[in-house]
């Protein structure tokens, strides 16, 4: 019993006190850094992928090639080849790819009720990529009314730009949908007159859309008669902020709405910060393990004569090992619990702040952080067990 009291005294005071607290503080900081890194990574994934934070607009990207000086006057260089489309569709970040079909004819819209007429253009995309659901969204040959989807930004530009500047009334979306503007399509001497019907307003695609069936018919009648390679495509992607997606677009000279992909840079920065924090956490953990090992070696060396005497008198080395480990295990648990509680407090605080900005993350630490706490404590215990066994066996 006196020997155990001596060991305890050496551990808590004396020559090993400084190393003991250095190792304890290092272990605590290391655990905190590792848990924070894991929790930040989990929170960022929640912000990107969870249903609560799902941003439907960001799932669809309209892609086209960047126009350079060398491509000016050469429209064939701005279109996608079949090989490019196949390669794009095969990328892991693409969940769906649709071709935007451009009109091969001239379009003029006359809206007497709105007080303007304008030259414009039509495009068509597969229905699965359209965010407007309407029973009016269909067309068949012989039908003189063409359903049209216009971007909601177009309505805002009319009401807050054109209407105010020309002293004409502003119109609500409900009123605009009741209008029936005249549509004239032409190519050379061929001309066709139709009535337009606003089927809805799109927040996703910034172009004037008509049904694919009408576009195919009109291109065959008023166009060149042959299908042209697409110059724009639309993709559905799970993660518009993917750095892999951003790198692919940059590498192939493609461009899209940078507002939707700007998070790829933020994500890259967050990943670097998380990696650096996690790296320093691992370094500190290794440092703490090393100091613990040196501390145990020092304690055993300080009691070398007493340990040999006890072993000579019949004390089992396992008893000595167990007693030494009992002096450290409660401290491991306290450090682990304190680190996890601190991370839980930070997580609760952060979730409250993000919720005020309509961004949602869990109020409690992730399973990864909890498992990491258990894993680190188990690792520290095993390393110390190995160290104690090694030095006592060398007596």
Residue found by looking up tokens 């730009």 in the block? 161
Residue 299 vs residues 5, 8, 17, 394: alpha-carbon distances, Å: 13, 10, 10, 14
Flag the least confident range among 4-13, 197-206, 247-256: 4-13
- Specify the higher pLDDT residue, 4 or 324: 324
- Specify the higher pLDDT residue, 130 or 285: 130
The encoded tokens of residue 10 equal 């050496």
In this prediction, residues 308-315 reach a mean pLDDT of 68
| Residue 12, pLDDT above cutoff 50 | yes
- How many Cβ atoms are within 10 Å of 163's Cβ, its own excluded? 17
- How many Cβ atoms are within 10 Å of 251's Cβ, its own excluded? 8
Interval 113-149: pLDDT, tens: 666 778 888 999 998 888 888 888 989 998 999 999 9
Q: What is the 3-state secondary structure (H, E, C) of 255-319?
A: ECCHHHHCHHHHHHHHHHHHHHHHHHHHHHHHHHHHHHHHHHHHHHHHCHHHHHHHHHCCCCHHH
Distance CA 92, CA 162 (A): 43
pLDDT of residue 57: 46
Q: Where are the alpha helices (DSSP H) in 103-229?
A: 152-157, 163-165, 173-178, 212-222
Interval 166-195: pLDDT, tens: 777 788 888 888 888 899 998 888 888 999
Interval 328-384: pLDDT, tens: 788 888 888 998 999 999 999 988 888 887 778 888 888 988 998 898 888 888 887
Q: What are the backbone dihedrals phi and psi of residue 23, each rounded to the nearest 5 degrees, phi first?
A: -65, -40
Q: What are the backbone dihedrals phi and psi of residue 151, each rounded to the nearest 5 degrees, phi first?
A: -70, 140
In this prediction, residues 236-249 reach a mean pLDDT of 82
Element (H, E) at 373: helix 367-393
> Whole-number mean pLDDT of the chain?
81
pLDDT of residue 53: 64
Q: Which residues 6+ apart lie within 8 Å of 112 measured at CB?
A: 181, 182
């Amino acid at each position: 019993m006196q020997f155990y009291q001596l060991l305890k005294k050496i551990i808590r005071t004396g020559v090993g006190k400084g190393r003991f607290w250095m190792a304890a503080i290092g272990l605590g900081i290391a655990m905190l850094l590792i848990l924070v890194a894991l929790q930040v990574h989990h929170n960022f994934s929640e912000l990107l992928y969870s249903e609560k934070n799902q941003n439907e607009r960001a799932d669809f990207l309209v892609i086209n090639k960047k126009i350079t000086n060398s491509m000016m006057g050469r429209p064939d260089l701005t279109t996608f080849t079949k090989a490019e489309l196949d390669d794009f569709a095969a990328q892991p970040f693409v969940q769906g790819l649709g071709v935007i079909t451009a009109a091969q004819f001239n379009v003029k819209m006359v809206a007497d009720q709105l007080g303007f007429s304008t030259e414009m253009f039509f495009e068509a995309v597969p229905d699965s990529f359209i965010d407007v659901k309407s029973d009016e969204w269909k067309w068949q040959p012989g039908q003189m009314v063409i359903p049209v989807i216009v971007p909601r930004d177009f309505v805002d530009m009319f009401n807050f730009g054109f209407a105010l500047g020309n002293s004409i009334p502003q119109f609500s979306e409900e009123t605009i949908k009741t209008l029936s503007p005249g549509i004239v399509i032409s190519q050379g001497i061929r001309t066709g007159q139709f009535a337009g019907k606003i089927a809805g307003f799109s927040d996703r695609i910034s172009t004037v859309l008509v049904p694919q069936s009408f576009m195919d018919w009109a291109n065959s009648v008023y166009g060149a008669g042959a299908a042209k390679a697409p110059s724009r495509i639309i993709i559905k992607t799970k993660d518009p902020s993917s750095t892999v997606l951003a790198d692919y677009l940059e590498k192939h000279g493609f461009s899209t709405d940078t507002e939707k992909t700007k998070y790829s840079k933020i994500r890259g920065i967050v990943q670097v910060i998380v990696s650096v924090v996690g790296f320093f956490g691992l370094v500190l953990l290794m440092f703490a393990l090393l100091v613990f090992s040196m501390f145990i070696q020092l304690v055993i060396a300080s009691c070398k004569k007493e340990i040999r005497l006890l072993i000579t008198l019949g004390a089992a080395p396992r008893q000595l090992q167990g007693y030494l480990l009992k002096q450290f295990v409660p401290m491991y648990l306290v450090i682990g619990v304190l680190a996890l509680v601190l991370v839980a407090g930070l997580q609760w605080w952060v979730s409250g702040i993000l919720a005020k900005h309509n961004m949602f993350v869990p109020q409690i630490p992730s399973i990864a952080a909890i498992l990491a706490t258990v894993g680190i404590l188990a690792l520290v215990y095993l390393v110390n067990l190995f160290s104690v066994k090694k030095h006592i066996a060398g007596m």
